[in-house]
């Protein structure tokens, strides 16, 4: 087979966050597959076909893309942020694992992008300077009991916690439940960052104490970071304080 399928990370929104390698993969594709608003972020190329799809049917979209590539196309499947973080790259391998054995002869690549967690952290300062972990709060693909157990474990182990998919119309209470769990384990003054639409024109970053964290201020374009016991604020002349987590833990330099 001569087909190529590249899963391309577009970064969080600002076109300057797109890597040159990702831009090259988009430019060389004969076919672009992805959620409509992401496709709109790829520059127009004459002769390139676009296949917009609904955001909910990731594995169907992956199968469609594999099928196109099997027919000889050079396909780019686009994803926001990094395609390997709660996104299309895993859906492509899921479809590959269960699909037509001939697909395994295709050239399949993953082109990384800046994930929302890293872009959000950079805006706030350096909250990921110590150990951290990332969780998706979406219980569409895993039961809430698993999320609850993981949250308790990582909060108890004093990781900085980044929460993807914190809230949506269909999942209105999960972020409130996560904040309640955190309040039972961490100090009220623990810094919490709500980073909305990072890299887009409507970007809005807010830092608050865990005691004041309000799930109503987050939406599905928000990345939430809950600090560890060592995460601290550094006040600046004007504007919100910087948030950082020292690299050292329990040892004096
Ligand atoms: N692959 C994506 C994540 C997909 S999951 C990435 O690497 O960033 C979707 C979740 O990502 C959203 O609910 C939100 O929590 C987060 N997210 C994606 N883009 C974002 C942005 N520009 N600003 C803040 N959060 C974002």
pLDDT score, position 1: 58
The CB of 12 under 6 Å from ligand 1? The reply is: yes
Q: Which atom of ligand 1 is nearest to the CA of 116?
A: 8
Per the confidence metrics, is the pTM higher than 0.75?
yes
The CB of 138 under 6 Å from ligand 1? The reply is: no
Q: Which atom of ligand 1 is nearest to the CA of 165?
A: 13
Give the closest residue (by CA) to ligand 1 atom 5. 86
- Mean pLDDT in the chain? 95
Largest CA distance in the chain: 61
Structure tokens at 195: 């980073």
Write the pLDDT tens digit of every residue in 52-94.
987 678 999 999 999 999 999 999 999 999 999 999 999 999 9
CB neighbourhood size of 248 (10 A):
11
Q: Residues, the chain, total?
A: 253
Ligand 1 centroid–CA 166 distance in Å is 10
Q: What is the DSSP string of 24-84?
A: HHHHH-SEEEEEHHHHTTSPP-TT-EEEEE-TT-HHHHHHHHHHHHHTT-EEEEEESB-TT
Ligand 1 centroid–CA 11 distance in Å is 9
Q: Which residues of the chain have pLDDT under 70?
A: 1, 55, 252-253
């Amino acid at each position: 087979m001569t087909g190529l399928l590249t899963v391309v990370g577009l970064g969080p929104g600002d076109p300057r966050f797109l890597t040159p390698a990702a831009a090259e993969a988009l430019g060389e594709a004969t076919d672009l597959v992805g959620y409509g608003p992401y496709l709109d972020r790829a520059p127009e190329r004459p002769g390139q076909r676009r296949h917009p799809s609904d955001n909910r049917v990731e594995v169907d979209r992956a199968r469609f893309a594999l099928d196109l590539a099997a027919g000889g196309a050079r396909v780019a499947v686009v994803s926001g942020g990094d395609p390997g973080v709660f996104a299309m790259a895993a859906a492509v391998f899921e479809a590959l694992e269960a699909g037509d054995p001939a697909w395994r002869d295709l050239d399949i690549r993953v082109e990384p992008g800046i994930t929302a967690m890293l872009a959000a952290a950079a805006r706030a300062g350096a909250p990921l300077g110590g150990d951290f972990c990332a969780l998706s709060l979406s219980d569409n693909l895993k039961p809430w009991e698993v999320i609850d157990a993981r949250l308790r474990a990582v909060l108890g182990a004093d990781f900085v916690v980044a929460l993807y998919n914190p809230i949506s119309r269909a999942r209105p209470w999960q972020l409130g439940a996560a904040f309640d769990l955190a309040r039972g384990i961490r100090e009220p003054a623990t810094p919490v960052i709500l980073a909305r639409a990072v890299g887009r024109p409507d970007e809005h970053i807010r830092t608050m104490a865990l005691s004041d964290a309000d799930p109503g201020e987050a939406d599905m374009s928000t990345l939430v970071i809950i600090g560890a016991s060592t995460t601290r604020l550094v006040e600046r002349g004007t504007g919100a304080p910087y948030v950082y987590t020292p690299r050292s833990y329990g040892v004096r330099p």
